[in-house]
Structure 1
Amino acid sequence: MSLEQKLGYFFFDKNHLKRALYHPSFDGETELPEPPFDQVAYGVLGRSLLAAVVTEFALRSGCDTIETIAHQGAQILEPQRLQALQEDLCLEFYVKLSPAAKADGQSQDPTVLQETFEALVAAVYLDGGYSSMRRIVKHLLVDPVLGPTEAG
Structure 2
Amino acid sequence: MRQSDAGRRDPGVIEERIGYAFRDRALLTRALTRLAYTLEAGLPADAHMDALATLGDAVINVAVVEAVIAKGAHDKGAITNRKMNLVNMTRLRALAEDLALADYVRWGKGEAAQKVWTSGRVLAECLEALVGAVYLDGGMEAAAGVLRRLGLTESV
TM-score norm. by structure 2 comes to: 0.84
The match for 2:103 is 93
Residue pair 2:93, 2:121 contacting (<8 A) in 1 also: no
Structure 2 residue aligned with 1:60:
70
Among residues 25, 29, 52, which one is paired with 1:18 in the alignment? 29
Of 115, 122, 134, 1:105 maps to 115
Provide closer, same or farther for how the CA distance between residues 97 and 74 of structure 1 changes in structure 2, counting only shifts above 3 A: same
TM-score, with structure 1 as normaliser = 0.86
CA contact (8 A) 1:92 1:108 kept: no
Runs of 4+, deviation exceeding 3 Å: 27-32
Root-mean-square deviation (CA, aligned residues, Å) is 1.8
Indicate the SS of the match to 1:92: helix
Q: Tell me, which stretches of 5 or more residues in structure 2 are unaligned?
A: 1-11
Taking only the aligned residue pairs, the percentage that are identical comes to 31
Distance in 2 between residues matched to 1:124 and 1:27, nearest whole Å: 21
The alpha-carbon deviation at position 28 of structure 1 amounts to 5.0
Deviations along 1:97-123, whole A, 9 cap, x unmatched?
Answer: 111111011132341111110010010
1:107-146 counterparts in 2 under 5 A? 107-140=117-150, 141-143=152-154, 145-146=155-156
- Residue type matched to 2:130 in 1? L
Structure 1 gap segments, 5+ residues each: 147-152
Q: How many equivalent residue pairs?
A: 144
Once the two structures are TM-superposed, the CA of residue 41 in structure 1 deviates from its matched residue by: 0.6
Amino acid at match of 1:17: L
- Please tell me the residue identity of whatever aligns with 2:35: P
1:149 aligned residue: none
